[in-house]
Amino acid sequence: MTLFDIHTHNVKPYTKGGLIDIKSILNTFPEDFNDLSKSANESTWFSCGIHPWYVDGKTERLKSLEEIIKHDRVVAVGEVGLDKLKGPDLNLQIEVFEEQISLANKYGKPLIIHCVKAWDELVALKKGVKTDIPWIIHGYRGGVEQTKQLVSLGFYLSIGEKFNLESLKHIPVNSLFCETDESSKSIEAIYKQVSMSLGFDFNQFAFRMLGNMSKFAFGLTK
């Protein structure tokens, strides 16, 4: 059985050959991609992006980001997004996010999104871009009404260690992913927690997550 950890900051051990095979998307920044890609193993794929907290000095960084995104093993652009509580001016964050949305579209790779208290701005950006590229909000913990709105707009939501149980029930399984982010919990533990909350059998849930992954041709499901 294969489990997918779509967003993590920790290099995970190589698992192939065991009962459970774990495939992870390790988050990188343009500056640390080279080092991290060397230290990773065959169970690891990558996302790379300019995080909203660190959008200063964007011109050079966007150039190196584009080179990295072309890499086969880089399967998503992220984490990128908007944060009203931390980081530089929101207008600059939006500008750099828009540039990275264009890169995601150009190379056909999904976006992994960090969003803190900037939901209206995120929704406006999504409505303004015609694309089939998945927009995946990571570490999602929003309330029920917000969840319904985001689902209706076609967002995908990735659930980690902490989540809103009521909201989870309003996310169609087809729009769902799981992640460990910075948690010390295993992806297996997160799958267990989420599948139990949804009343799914673990294996059945894992099978549905595999279906979600293969739809995006992440290259992880082969």
Residues near Zn ion (CB under 5 A) are 181
Using the minimum distance from each CB to Zn ion, give the nearer residue, 23 or 138. Answer: 138
Least Å from the CB of residue 27 to Zn ion: 5
Residue 127, classified by CB atoms within 10 Å of its CB into exposed (0-12), middle (13-18) or buried (19+), is exposed
Residue number of the CB closest to Zn ion reads 181
For 158-169, b/e burial (b = at least 16 CB within 10 A) is bbbbebbeebbe
CB 53 within 8 A of CB 85: no
Tokens of 24: 């992870």
For residues 83 and 181, which CB has a smaller minimum distance to Zn ion in the complex? 181
Looking at the Cβ atoms of 66 and 181, the one nearer to Zn ion is 181
Measured distance CA(105)–CA(80) in Å, rounded = 14
Q: Least Å distance between CB 79 and Zn ion?
A: 5
* Smallest separation, CB 54 to Zn ion (Å): 13
Closest CA to 74 of 136, 29, 15: 29
Type and span of the H or E element at 145? helix 144-152
Q: 5 or 181: whose CB is closer to Zn ion?
A: 181
